[in-house]
Chain A
């Protein structure tokens, strides 16, 4: 890696942290829509009805997922911010305690006490440098982990829409049972591809990642469907939507 690449790496890592919202959004959009469409398709002849139902669910789902992502990300951010502030106050009021804390943290990781002391002594020459290091090392408040709630929400919303559109698209071109099969096939393929992409990013075997991703997503959806069937068996009259 060149020095320049090292310097820009941080932004790359931070942007790749968005993978969480991406995967979550696509997977949820995909699975919930496939199930919904399968159910609706069985109940109606009209492709238009299926499409409109799908799109409606897509929009409402995307909004609710985005809101959830925003709220959870924001909650975490606010708590983090408070911890960061408290760390700053501690370092100001009891600098020797903060210094000793960083010293302990370094020496626990393997640096000798003497070396740790030297490092902390140097860091103490510049308040901000010491503070950032203290927050990151001792409290684990790394800034790359700090959430950006709005960005998270946008990624989640967009990913959900993308994931939801995939099973809907075949219904524009095909009719009835063919559309369903193609919808399912396309969804399965998408799951596999997302797993592949994640494998590439994580430098793991893409094929295995694809299969694993597919298996978990389908397995979970299948389990949900099975539970629905079991409940319907014991309580006939209750209909569980396949989403």
Chain B
């Protein structure tokens, strides 16, 4: 279901989120002109892969250097996010609360049986379109560095060969003539 979204406008959302103890409203609208990394995860207060949340937090400044913001989303409450962020020693990006599960459903990342999000990362470009989408089964943690690499590659808006790393040439040099 989510695959259909690639290249299309990302579903809009307006959710409450908590950043460093402060609660605010966050909507897709406000990120126009910027890249957005929407990072869905199953639950707060878990022993399985909580390192993802802190992983993205550590790289937050590097994402910002790429004109990109990170938003974490799960179906937990604002209160839960606030306490979880505290438990993790602070999170450098907002954690949004999709309590009625509508946004997760709209992005096709809700595990209907369990009632929680799958581990999904959605990269939305500055024009508000879904550029990249990764979904994995609940127990495999994602690579933050890979997401950053892909973000950088996408931002070149050029053809990038496989395993392209920042600094390497883009485009297929063999097609010169």
Please report A residues at the B interface, Cβ cutoff 8 Å: 95-97, 99-100, 103, 113-114, 116-117, 120
Contact = CB atoms under 8 A, between A and B. Distances in A.
* Most-contacted residue by chain A among B45, B48, B76, B87 (CB, 10 A): B45
A113 B77 CA distance: 11
A95 B76 CA distance: 24
B47 A96 contact: yes
Interface of B: 43-48, 76, 80, 83-84, 87
A80 B93 CA distance: 47
A95 B48 CA distance: 10
A174 to B, nearest CB: 71
Contacts of B44: 113-114
Contacts, number: 29
22 contacts: A95-B47, A96-B47, A97-B47, A97-B48, A99-B47, A100-B47, A103-B45, A103-B46, A103-B47, A113-B43, A113-B44, A113-B45, A113-B46, A113-B76, A113-B80, A114-B44, A114-B45, A114-B84, A117-B45, A117-B46, A117-B47, A117-B87
Nearest to B43: A113
Nearest to A116: B45
A105 to B, nearest CB: 13
Nearest to B79: A114
Given A113-B43, A114-B45, 6 more contacts: A97-B48, A99-B47, A100-B46, A100-B47, A114-B44, A117-B45
B47 A114 contact: no
Contacts of A117: 45-47, 87
B175 to A, nearest CB: 48
B44 to A, nearest CB: 7
A103 to B, nearest CB: 7
A93 B8 CA distance: 44
A117 B76 CA distance: 14
Nearest to B83: A114
A103 B76 CA distance: 16
Given A113-B80, A114-B80, A114-B83, A96 B48 contact: yes
A99 B87 CA distance: 16
Contacts of B43: 113
A100 B44 CA distance: 12
Contacts of A113: 43-46, 76, 80
A100 B116 CA distance: 15
**CB-CB nearest 6 A-B residue pairs:** A117-B45, A99-B47, A113-B45, A96-B47, A100-B47, A114-B45
Nearest to A97: B48
A100 B47 CA distance: 6
Contacts of B87: 117
* Most-contacted residue by chain B among A96, A114, A120 (CB, 10 A): A114
